[in-house]
Amino acid sequence: MATLRPTLGLIAICCLVLVLLAASTPRAHTGSSLFVIQHAAKQGYNDAMLLLAQAYKHRKQDSAALLWAQRALDNGNENALSQLLQWYPQNERQWYSKAAQQGSMNAQVFLWHQEGRALTASELQLLASWPWQKLNSQSRHLLAQLLLFQHNSLPTLPHWRALAYTAKSTNHSYWQPLLAGDDVLRRIPTQCDFNLAFSTQRRQAIRSVLRWLNALDEFLLGRGYRLCASQQALLPDSHCEAESGRAFCSTSRLPSGQAITIIVTEQGSANTRNGKVYLNEHASWQVLLHELGHALGLADEYPMAHELAQRFCSGDYNFKARNIVLAEPRILSVTAVEQLRERLPWREQLTTAIALPVAIGAGTYFRLGSSEPGKIGLYTTATCQATRLQAWKPVQAVTFMEQHEVSYVPDLYLQWMAEEMANR
């Protein structure tokens, strides 16, 4: 911002007046000190204009204070912006607009950020011409967000990561997950246990993707698995619209290869179709983990909707779940129990009996169900509650396939998911 430079004598006078003002007593603003400030302000010294505004504010002359604070702002005093924001925060946009008109980089970045859109080519050129290193910490925080969401940034502009690192000291909780998530995207995709390919409908969704990757990576690393990922925007001809409330996009091209495709949409609830995950950008990472379970061979352990339950539980569904078997809860013979045991996907991991003996007359029969909750066995689940069939799962505890927010993923389930990933 262009500013007028007062003489050394005026600087000394203004410093003296500042000391008087700081005393904050009725005697501080004597007629002589106010006269000095008024004279300097009328001569065009914008620092004096702001001092005069503060003096009037102290005297509870609000109209005069507002007048001179605005004059200071109109003459390029960026401190006047902070003062006006403190006095009249409800007029925030007005003050920032005035400051931007005077060439304030900080104010212009704030206005661009508020508009919530991608920067135009001319705006990017203007940004590139600025000494962005002079931006304050809050403006660096906002500019990093703008560049994170920008598709076509200029090579002369800083990368959003560089700005985020400089702003992280005051906005650590915001940037740390995003930087960590971006580290996952930058990994060389070799020896990965899980590989994800994100396609986003909106550029703004990249923030959600990075946060998901940070949380998912922490979770998987803690269990001994390595995560890799990539991200790209959906093609312009893609059409995204919720179907019966569920997220969906039709697009001409998606990433191919081993990675699980995850399409991130603006609307609709999460679901998995034909191995592809559709995820709302506002979903949590636990919802993503639940949908990855579907993509990698796990079925819901909560009651399925009636129509879906009729198809899945009758076998009329092209999906073989590794965590669910169906069996009527009736008394079985030894032979029938053995036959059921042989078709369990987790038969080799069993650590307890899947049925308990029941004496009927002179014979011994068995009632399905394990009695040791902490072990791998056979436990009821509500998957097929809408039908007459009973679904069974290998663990008694509530897992992430029943309630995603609990985030409990048994080792056996993660092992299955990793095996399915390796077989893709």
334 — phi, psi (to 5°)?
Answer: -60, -40
Closest residue by Cα to residue 111 from 131, 83, 81 = 81
Total Cβ atoms within 10 A of residue 256: 8
Question: Are residues 79 and 50 in contact, defined by beta-carbon separation less than 8 angstroms?
Answer: yes
Per domain, the residue ranges of the chain are 8-101, 105-170, 176-295, 306-411+418-422
Burial of 300 (C-beta count, 10 Å sphere; 0-12/13-18/19+): buried
One pLDDT digit (tens) per residue for the chain, 424 residues: 444 444 444 454 455 455 544 544 444 445 567 888 888 898 889 899 999 999 999 999 999 999 999 999 999 998 999 999 999 999 999 999 999 999 999 999 999 999 988 899 999 999 999 888 888 889 999 999 999 999 888 988 999 999 998 887 788 999 999 999 999 999 998 889 999 999 999 999 999 999 999 999 999 999 999 999 999 999 888 999 999 999 999 987 777 778 999 999 999 999 999 899 999 999 999 999 999 999 999 999 999 998 888 888 887 767 789 999 999 888 999 999 999 999 999 999 999 999 999 988 777 899 999 999 999 999 999 999 988 889 999 999 999 999 999 889 999 999 999 999 999 8
Give every CB contact of residue 233 below 8 A, 6+ residues apart in sequence: 151, 199, 200, 203
Q: What is this structure's pTM? A: 0.83
Strand runs (DSSP E) across 116-226, as ranges? 194-200
